[in-house]
């Protein structure tokens, strides 16, 4: 006897990887920032902010998140580095938010504990649509090279607000300002990599009982 065929309803299609990118141009009297991101890249980075240490941190963010990130920034560095760092955080946060679209099918939550030599930092991320930063890190030195370490928090605050995420960072211990800063950026990178990942068990659904992550 012929075998009866059993038909299954096809699951909803997952969001296309090719559309998970964003591009932002931000121009003020203080800075000019152009940012593009691809959430499903390979970690490629083209970064030029005029601040060497900051470029290095952003390259770490790209490499360990596996996002492709391009940033070109000019700013009033003759005054200080504050506006350039903060506005880069704003534009990058907006670009990531744009790339996430409706957040269908993403993992949403992720956390990591990341060692960097004598330093240990943990980072937790919730792509919630409700921006809130908890930043429990102190730097033993006010500068690493010519970079003001207090600006690390300014970047995290700007990025958190404009990416509309809930981000908690805490350095459990550490002695070297360079290592502490790098552990923060690498920790953010690894947490973001996991949180933006498409979870095939979600089948394209938004991971919220509200049905939205837009607010």
pLDDT value for 45: 97
Query: Residue 57: how many CA atoms within 13 Å on its side-chain side?
Result: 28
CA separation for the pair 95, 120 (Å, rounded): 29
Hey, which CATH number is domain 19-202, 3.30.230.40, 3.50.50.60, 3.40.50.720, 3.40.50.1860?
A: 3.30.230.40
Q: DSSP class of residue 202?
A: G
pLDDT value for 208: 76
Q: Would you kindly state where each structural domain of the chain is located, as residue ranges?
A: 19-202
The string of pLDDT tens digits covering residues 47-78 is 999 999 999 999 999 999 999 999 999 999 99
Give the chain's residues under pLDDT 50.
1-18
Report the C-alpha dihedral over residues 42, 215, 208, 8, rounded to 10 degrees: -70
pLDDT value for 17: 45
Query: Residue 124: how many CA atoms within 13 Å on its side-chain side?
Result: 7
Helices (H), the chain: 52-65, 82-100, 151-163, 177-195
pLDDT value for 215: 62
pLDDT value for 210: 79
Phi, psi of 117 (to 5 degrees): 55, -115
CA separation for the pair 62, 131 (Å, rounded): 21
């Amino acid at each position: 006897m012929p075998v009866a065929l059993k038909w299954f309803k096809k699951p909803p299609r997952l969001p296309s990887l090719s559309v998970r990118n964003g591009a932002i141009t931000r121009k003020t009297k203080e800075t000019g920032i152009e940012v593009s991101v691809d959430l499903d890249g390979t970690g490629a980075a083209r970064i030029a902010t005029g601040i060497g240490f900051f470029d290095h941190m952003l390259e770490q963010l790209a490499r360990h998140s596996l996002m492709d990130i391009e940033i070109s920034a000019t700013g009033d560095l003759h005054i200080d580095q504050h506006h350039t760092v903060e506005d880069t955080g704003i534009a990058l946060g907006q670009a990531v938010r744009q790339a996430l679209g409706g957040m269908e099918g993403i993992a949403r939550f992720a956390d990591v504990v990341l060692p960097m030599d004598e330093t240990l930092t943990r980072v937790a991320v919730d792509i919630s649509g409700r921006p809130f930063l908890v930043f429990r890190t102190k730097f033993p030195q006010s500068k690493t090279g010519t970079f003001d370490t207090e600006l690390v928090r300014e970047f995290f605050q700007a990025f958190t607000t404009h990416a509309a995420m809930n981000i908690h960072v805490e350095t459990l211990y550490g002695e070297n300002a360079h290592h502490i800063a790098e552990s923060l950026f690498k920790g953010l990178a690894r947490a973001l990599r996991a949180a933006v990942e498409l979870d095939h068990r979600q089948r394209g659904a938004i991971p919220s009982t509200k049905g939205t992550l837009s607010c």
